[in-house]
Amino acid sequence: MKLSLKLDSPTSPKLSTERIAFWATAFIILVVFPVTLSAFRLGLIGKYLCYAFPALGLVLCWGYCGILSLGQGVFFGLGGYCMAMFLKLEASDKASTSIQSTPGIPDFMDWNQLKELPIFWLPFESLPLALLAVVLVPGLLALVVGLAMFKRRVTGVYFAIITQAIAAILSILIIGQQGYTGGVNGITDLKTMLGWDIRSDSAKLILYFVNAGFLLAAIAMSQHLLHSKLGRLLVAVRDREDRVRFTGYDVAQLKTFVFVLAAMLSAIGGAMFTLQVGFMSPSFVGIDPSIEMVVAAAVGGRVSVLGAVYGSLLVNFGKTFFSEHFPELWLFMMGVLFIAVVMAFPSGLAGINLAEIRTRLLKRFKSKPLLTPEPKAPETHDPSPSTGHAGGGL
């Protein structure tokens, strides 16, 4: 299960490279994509970038701290549902739902013979409360799950299986409680946010930039975290949990923290997804999307914060591309993509080291070995090759 990862020592003078990579990514997202792509394609990119949030959370939680969660879709979905519930209530005012037998409640509730709004929907009439719920509901769930698991020292595969079970449970619950949740169709027909039409082209463009801003802020925050002692502690917990514990740290607390953080990031992605796509459904909650998030993190490079962005772009672009061109085969092709990347580059796109590839290739063709010393660190945080990849592919 344990991959050998060469990890960049966080205090090594890599800050400048990391900064350049960060601003290059910001430039690509904020300038290159909006300038070169059509509104439709840009909308797709905006959607893909929502998946970078859970992937980013997984980089912190799984890549750095060694906690593999197969249930990030739960938090993505909860964040998305919290947002959708607010938008749905706004779209279900008395005037536009006057043909229902109970006007003023969401249409799916009316179809399911509900006569009034369920209590847990009430807070979602207020935008501030709904926005708070976007991060707090998934955060609280992660806190409860995290404390329950990590205090009991549930780790590794067992933790992964439990999170996967939670993903299955939540999606089944949402589908089953049609009257309260909209069931398998999800919450659809979202129109406005405080009167602002989120379906218009200008709104879509603004939302793209809001999403990009949140994502870049989340990346900057993650990098700040990873350069602090807390970042080194996460690595220490991954590699030598007992040593950390017997140095006076509460390992359960640290693990719970990173799991909650990953959940909240995931939730922000979910909320932005709802805003940009205009609906939320159980298909973003269950096991499949959760695994896709892990794939995106692995493809991007699980110890690379920026890799999460490129991994999500590549995986979701691949998903769209393959499903458009090979409707029957796309799932297999996604599998091939995943296996190919992980086999060729165990540390993901961010692990591609051009110098090393050159050395390897030259070694093959020349008998004389090159003198280039194998660099120790540049493997992890150098996203420039991946930049070329994802950017060129789109």
Q: Residue 51: phi, psi to the nearest 5?
A: -75, -10
Contacts to another protein from residues 247-306, by CB under 8 A = 247-251, 253-254, 257
Chain positions 135 to 194 lying near another protein, rule: CB under 8 A, are none
Query: Binding another protein by CB under 8 A: which of 36, 177, 200, 228?
Result: 228
With beta carbons less than 8 A apart as the criterion, state whether 59 and 223 touch: no
Site for another protein in 11-30 (CB under 8 A): 11-12
Minimum CB distance to another protein, residue 231 (Å): 8
Q: Is 232 in the site for another protein (CB under 8 A)?
A: yes
Shortest Cβ 229–another protein spacing (Å): 4
Contact stretch for another protein (CB under 8 A) within 166-174, 222-230, 313-321, 362-370: 222-230
Among positions 152, 199, 229, 360, the unique one binding another protein when judged by CB under 8 A: 229
R_g of the chain computed on alpha carbons: 22
Contact between 230 and another protein by CB under 8 A: the answer reads yes
Smallest separation, CB 373 to another protein (Å):
14
Binding mask 348-387 for another protein (x = CB under 8 A): ----------------------------x-----------
Quote the CA–CA distance of 237 and 229 in Å, as a whole number: 12
CA distances from 341 to 46, 192, 296, 348, 352 (A): 24, 41, 11, 6, 10
Residue 5 C-beta: closest distance to another protein, Å: 8
Long-range contacts formed by 172-175: CB under 8 A, 24+ apart = 174/77, 174/81, 174/282, 174/285, 175/282
* Residue count, binding to another protein (CB under 8 A): 31
Considering the complex, state which of residue 191 and residue 232 has its C-beta at the smaller distance from another protein.
Answer: 232
Give whichever of 126 and 228 is closer to another protein, judged by the CB atom: 228
Min dist CB 245 to another protein, Å, is 5
Show the tokens assigned to 13.
Answer: 């003078």
Question: Which of 147, 169, 225, 342 is close enough to bind another protein by CB under 8 A?
Answer: 225
Min dist CB 228 to another protein, Å, is: 5
State phi, psi for 220 to the nearest 5 degrees. -60, -40
In the bound state with another protein, the residue whose beta carbon lies nearer, of 133 and 261, is: 261
Question: Contact, 311 vs 342, CB < 8 A?
Answer: no
Q: Does 220 bind another protein (CB under 8 A)?
A: no
Contact 332, 355 (CB under 8 A): no
Query: Which of residues 206 and 230 has its CB atom nearest to another protein in the complex?
Result: 230
Q: Indicate whether 9 belongs to the interface with another protein (CB under 8 A).
A: yes
In the complex, what is the shortest distance from the CB of residue 197 to another protein, in angstroms, rounded to a whole number? 40
Contacts to another protein by CB under 8 A: 5-7, 9-12, 225, 228-230, 232-233, 235-236, 239-240, 242-251, 253-254, 257, 376
